[in-house]
């Protein structure tokens, strides 16, 4: 218990500012808001403290973890692009329904990350969560490989040429065949639940937060982490596409399964090197306890004579395993009533009636974090639309580079290459220049980087709208209006590189900044939940893309009048340019909302460490 005052008198300042109350530490009382007491000692896989930290963690351990993320993203991007084409050419599904199915896969693989983050923080720890779900992921990829390899799982391909595909007269896949494909596809997506929220946090756990270079290591770690994501994407858009063209769909999907199997093996080999954090118990239970306790004491007053103080356990560490004490803040003061200790509470109150200050602050932090990842849903929506719609655009254009014909499905490699280039030049060019402008030691703060990414993504989708209008007019004027599967020799596909490279630059700033922001700002015992916020925003963007496409198809087309929808299967009669401009408007509005949100946010990390 931490009494705020010894008498029952009320003082105006005490009613106005709850920050005068104290957390009790071992050797002194430390004013709320001025410091942070660490309680996150790294342990080995058996849960015991590590005697010699120099033999574990660091960059060597982090690189074993990078491999797992690289293979997961290689499979993620390999499926996101190739599965649309596979469903169209092999399963004979329309582009629109294929794109919707893939968008749902992308959404499930990211939204389910909340489950993985919960299990990691509550019960399993990040290591075992990754180990279990990466095995599930491998099982799903194996099932997809069987679907593409065994003819029994796909419809008859005889007498199915381009004209038949165009007219929709090819033999349709049987319901059970599509059910099997959707099942293994969504199992793969579910397998990402334990990888996406945990890998970045588990990698960051390998660095000692007491080190003077901790911030620099963390900053470089998240950049290298996203570099591994990019390398996985580049391999997916080049090597996997080459294997598909040379050896077929079964070999392409099998390559993804083999890569995931190798990464799993490397991840387990690195086990003796890893530093672990103990799971802190169910974060959802702690959140529920705060809400229930605050509701029960909703009528209690901070100026009441029954008021003793804000409750916190004595000593250096908090009552939450794996978490240090968190300083009190004046945000969401209605939740402070959960920690409001009254004379009637007694010495051994249930946590459903009386919570510690640290527990209350955990809930406050989770609430304060929500607006930032919510603003990144828009860039995820744009990326999802690019992955499906840009493939259709590329099919209508000349893909020759000299005498070399580039496969349409490898076009998304160019955002990856731009990301690779930006990350390579980040510390040599961007940081020194921006440091002179902003005065920030890392060139730009985490939220500034997110804002730069959102602004560039708006430019990208605006350019996409202008170019699509030009591409469509070119097709109409040169007699390609009703022949959308024939490439237009006079229009080079490399015009799409502008929107691809811009969105690649946007990803570097937005997603890397967001991951670092969430890891540093999230409570100690909720790091995986914090990282899951980013994946949840990504999944929400995928589902938002599906919902938006469905609304547009139903609102803009009229079969009786012969008016095609904006998203017509014949891209040359549709209006993809209208969709891109709609996204540009929504993105600009979203950017303004982010500026307001970021301007009001106060970093927790600035006063986190003693």
**Least confident among 326-340, 509-523, 524-538, 576-590:** 524-538
Out of 234-238, 256-260, 358-362, least confident range: 234-238
Q: What mean pLDDT is predicted for residues 555-584?
A: 83
Kindly state whether residues 224 and 287 are assigned to the same domain: no
Q: Which of these three, 318, 334, 360, is where a domain ends?
A: 360
Tens digits of residue pLDDT in 204-228: 888 887 777 777 788 788 888 888 8
Do 420 and 566 belong together in one domain? yes
Last residue of a domain, one of 360, 394, 428: 360
Q: How many domains does the chain have?
A: 3
- Among candidate residues 304, 329, 360, the one where a domain is terminated: 360
**To which H or E segment does residue 567 belong?**
none
What pLDDT sits at residue 373?
92
Pair (387, 350) in one structural domain = no
Residue 553 pLDDT grade (very low, low, confident, very high; cuts 50, 70, 90): confident
C-alpha 203/C-alpha 205 separation (Å) is: 5
- On whether both 267 and 289 belong to a single domain, the answer is no
Is 379 inside a domain boundary?
yes
Determine which of 180-194, 336-350, 360-374, 545-559 has the lowest per-residue pLDDT on average. 336-350
What is the pLDDT at residue 27? 28
* 484 and 455 part of one domain: yes
Q: Is the pLDDT of residue 586 over 90?
A: yes
pLDDT score for 52: 76
Mean pLDDT of the 4-12 span: 39
Which domain CATH number covers 550? 1.20.1250.20
- Same domain, residue pair 181 and 228: yes
Residues written for the chain: 610
Element (H, E) at 161: none
Q: Which residue has the tokens 């939450």?
A: 320
Structural domain harbouring 482: 367-603
What's the pLDDT score for residue 609?
39
Contact 463, 580 (CB under 8 A): no
Same structural domain, 87 and 229: yes
- Asked if residue 26 is part of any domain, the answer here is no
Q: Are 141 and 256 in contact (CB under 8 A)?
A: yes
Q: Rounded to an integer, what distance in angstroms lies between the CA atom of residue 69 and that of residue 228?
A: 7
User: Residue 17 falls within a domain, yes or no?
Assistant: no
Q: Which range, 94-108, 297-311, 443-457, has the best average confidence (pLDDT)?
A: 443-457
Question: What is the reported pLDDT for 462?
Answer: 94
In a domain, 165, yes or no: yes
pLDDT above 90 for 454? yes
Tokens representing 185 are 């596809």
Q: Residue 473 above 70 pLDDT?
A: yes
Is the residue at 533 inside a domain?
A: yes
Instruction: Tell me, yes or no, whether 332 and 446 share the same domain.
Output: no
Does 239 lie in the same domain as 375? no
* 142 token code pair: 């194996």
- Does any domain span residue 180? yes
Looking at residue 9, what is its pLDDT?
41
pTM: 0.73
Range from 423-427, 483-487, 596-600 that averages highest in pLDDT: 596-600
Question: In the beta sheet, which residues pair with residue 87?
Answer: none
| 246 and 297 both lie in a single domain | no
Say how far apart CA 610 and CA 39 lie, in whole Å.
12
Q: Are residues 294 and 275 in the same domain?
A: no
Confidence (pLDDT) at 582: 94
Whether 302 is covered by a domain: the verdict is: yes
Let me know whether 337 and 467 are in one domain: no
Residue 28, domain member (yes or no):
no
| Average pLDDT score over the chain | 79
Greatest mean pLDDT range, 161-165, 181-185, 405-409, 542-546:
181-185
- Tens of pLDDT along 97-116? 777 777 777 777 777 787 88
Name the residue with higher pLDDT: 386 or 460.
460
């Amino acid at each position: 218990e931490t009494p705020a005052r010894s008498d029952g008198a009320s003082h105006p300042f005490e009613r106005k500012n709850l920050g005068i109350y104290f957390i009790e530490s071992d050797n002194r009382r430390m004013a709320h808001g001025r410091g942070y007491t660490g309680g996150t000692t790294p342990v080995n896989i058996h849960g015991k403290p590590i005697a010699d930290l120099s033999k574990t963690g660091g960059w060597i351990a982090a690189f074993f973890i990078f491999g797992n993320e690289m293979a997961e993203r290689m499979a993620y991007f390999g499926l996101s692009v190739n599965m649309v084409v596979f469903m169209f050419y092999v399963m004979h599904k329309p582009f629109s329904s294929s794109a919707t199915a893939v968008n749902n896969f992308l959404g499930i693989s990211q939204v389910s990350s909340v489950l993985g983050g919960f299990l990691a923080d509550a019960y399993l720890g990040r290591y075992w969560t990754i180990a279990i779900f990466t095995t599930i992921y491998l099982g799903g990829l194996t099932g997809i490989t069987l679907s593409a390899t065994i003819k029994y799982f796909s419809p008859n391909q005889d007498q199915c040429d381009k004209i038949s595909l165009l007219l929709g007269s090819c033999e349709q896949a049987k319901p059970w065949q599509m059910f099997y494909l959707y099942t293994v596809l969504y199992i793969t997506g579910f397998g990402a639940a334990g990888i996406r929220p945990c890998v970045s946090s588990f990698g960051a756990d390998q660095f000692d937060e007491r080190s003077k270079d901790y911030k620099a290591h963390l900053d470089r770690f998240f950049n290298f982490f996203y570099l591994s994501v990019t390398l996985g994407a580049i391999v997916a858009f080049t090597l996997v596409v080459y294997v598909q063209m040379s050896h077929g769909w079964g070999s392409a999907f099998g390559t993804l399964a083999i890569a995931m199997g190798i990464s799993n093996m490397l991840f387990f080999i690195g086990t003796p090197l890893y530093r672990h954090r103990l799971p802190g118990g169910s974060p959802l239970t702690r959140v529920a306890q705060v809400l229930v306790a605050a509701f029960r004491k909703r009528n209690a007053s901070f100026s009441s004579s029954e008021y003793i103080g804000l409750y916190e356990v004595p000593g250096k560490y908090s009552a939450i395993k794996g978490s240090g004490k968190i300083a009190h803040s004046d945000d969401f003061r209605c939740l402070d009533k959960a920690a409001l200790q009254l004379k009637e509470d007694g010495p051994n109150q249930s946590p459903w009636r009386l919570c510690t200050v640290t527990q209350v602050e955990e809930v406050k932090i989770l609430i304060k974090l929500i607006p930032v990842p919510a603003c990144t849903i828009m860039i995820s929506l744009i990326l999802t639309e690019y992955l499906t719609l840009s493939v259709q655009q590329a099919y209508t254009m000349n893909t020759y580079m000299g005498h070399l014909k580039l496969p349409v499905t490898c076009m998304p490699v160019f955002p990856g290459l731009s990301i690779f280039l930006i990350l390579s030049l980040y510390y040599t060019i961007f940081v020194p220049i921006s440091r002179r402008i902003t005065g920030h030691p890392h060139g730009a703060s985490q939220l500034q980087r997110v804002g730069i990414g959102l602004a560039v993504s708006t430019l990208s989708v605006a350019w996409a709208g202008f170019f699509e209008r030009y591409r469509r007019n070119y097709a109409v004027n040169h007699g390609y209006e009703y022949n959308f599967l024939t490439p237009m020799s006079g229009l080079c596909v490399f015009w799409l590189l502008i929107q691809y490279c811009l969105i690649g630059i946007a990803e570097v700033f937005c997603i890397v900044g967001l991951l670092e922001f969430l890891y540093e700002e999230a409570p100690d015992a909720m790091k995986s939940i914090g990282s899951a916020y980013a994946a949840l925003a990504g999944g929400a963007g995928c589902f938002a893309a599906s919902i938006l496409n469905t609304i547009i198809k139903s609102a803009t087309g009229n079969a009786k009048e012969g008016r095609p929808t904006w998203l017509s299967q014949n891209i040359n009669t549709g209006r993809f340019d209208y969709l891109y401009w709609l996204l540009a408007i929504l993105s600009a509005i979203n950017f303004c909302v982010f500026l307001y949100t970021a301007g009001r946010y106060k970093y927790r990390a600035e006063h986190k460490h003693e």
